[in-house]
Amino acid sequence: MSQASNSITKKTREAGDAADEYYIGLRRLEKTLPKWTYFDPAQYDRELKAIWYKEWNYVCRAEAIEKGSFRRHAIGDQDVLIVRDEQGNLRAFHNTCRHRGSRLCAAEEGSLSNGNIVCPYHAWTYALDGKLLGVPGLSLPPDFEKGAFSLFPVAVTVWRGFVFINFDSAAVPNFEPFGARVATLASWPLEELKLAHSYSVNVACNWKIFWENSSECYHCPGVHPELSKMAPIVGRGIMELRQDPNWQENQHKQHPRFQGGIAEGMKTYSLDGQTKGEPFPGLTEEDHRTGFGFRTNWPSVLFGANVDFVRALRVRPLGPEQTEISLEFFFSEENLANPEFDPKHNIEFTRRVVDQDISICELNQAGLRSMAFESGVLMPSENYVHAFQEWVCSRLG
Q: How far is the CB of 310 from ligand FES (least distance, A)?
A: 40
Give the span between the Cα atoms of 210 and 201, in whole angstroms.
13
Restricting to residues 124-153, name those near ligand FES by CB under 6 A: 124
**Sole binder of ligand FES in the list 27, 28, 31, 122 (CB under 6 A):** 122
- Residue closer to ligand FES by CB (options 124, 218) is 124
Taking only Cα atoms into account, the Rg of the chain, rounded to an integer number of angstroms, comes to 23
357 binds Fe ion (CB under 5 A): yes
Return the number of the residue (141 or 265) whose C-beta is nearest ligand FES. Answer: 141
Q: For the stretch 173-187, what's the b/e string if a residue is b when 16 or more beta carbons lie within 10 angstroms of its beta carbon?
A: eeeebbbbbebebee
Return the residue of 121, 144, 152, 199 that touches ligand FES, per CB under 6 A: 121
Binding mask 293-322 for ligand FES (x = CB under 6 A): ------------------------------
How many residues bind ligand FES (CB under 6 A)? The answer is 8
| Torsional sign, CA 344, 346, 349, 353 | negative
Q: Helix, strand, or coil here: 210? A: helix
Taking the CA atoms of 52, 299, 348 and 198 in sequence, report the sign of the dihedral they define: positive
Query: Of ligand FES, Fe ion, none, which one sits near residue 357, judging by CB under 5 to 8 A according to partner kind?
Result: Fe ion
Question: Which residues ranging from 149 to 208 are in contact with Fe ion (CB under 5 A)?
Answer: none
Burial of 62 (0-12, 13-18, 19+ CB in 10 A): middle
231: closest CA among 353, 335, 116, 121?
A: 353
Site string for ligand FES, 99-118 (x = CB under 6 A): xx-x----------------
CB of 151 to ligand FES, least distance (A): 11
Question: Closer CB to ligand FES, residue 95 or residue 166?
Answer: 95
Closer residue to Fe ion in complex, CB, 85/226: 226
User: How many angstroms from the chain centroid is the CA of residue 376?
Assistant: 25
CB of 121 to ligand FES, least distance (A): 4
Could you say whether residue 75 binds ligand FES (CB under 6 A)?
Answer: no
238 binds, among ligand FES, Fe ion, none (CB under 5 to 8 A by kind): none
Nearer to ligand FES, 151 or 262 (CB): 151
Give the phi and the psi of residue 189 in degrees, each rounded to 5: -80, 65
Which of the residues 291 through 320 are near Fe ion (CB under 5 A)? none
Q: Return the range that interacts with Fe ion (CB under 5 A); candidates 120-128, 263-271, 339-347, 355-363.
A: 355-363
Buried b (16+ CB within 10 A) or exposed e, 17-47: eeeebbbbbbeeebebbebebbbeeebbeeb
Q: What does the alpha-carbon distance between residue 205 and residue 179 come to, in Å, rounded to a whole number?
A: 21
Residue at 192: amino acid letter: E
Site for ligand FES, rule CB under 6 A: 97, 99-100, 102, 119, 121-122, 124
> Residues interacting with Fe ion, by CB under 5 A?
357
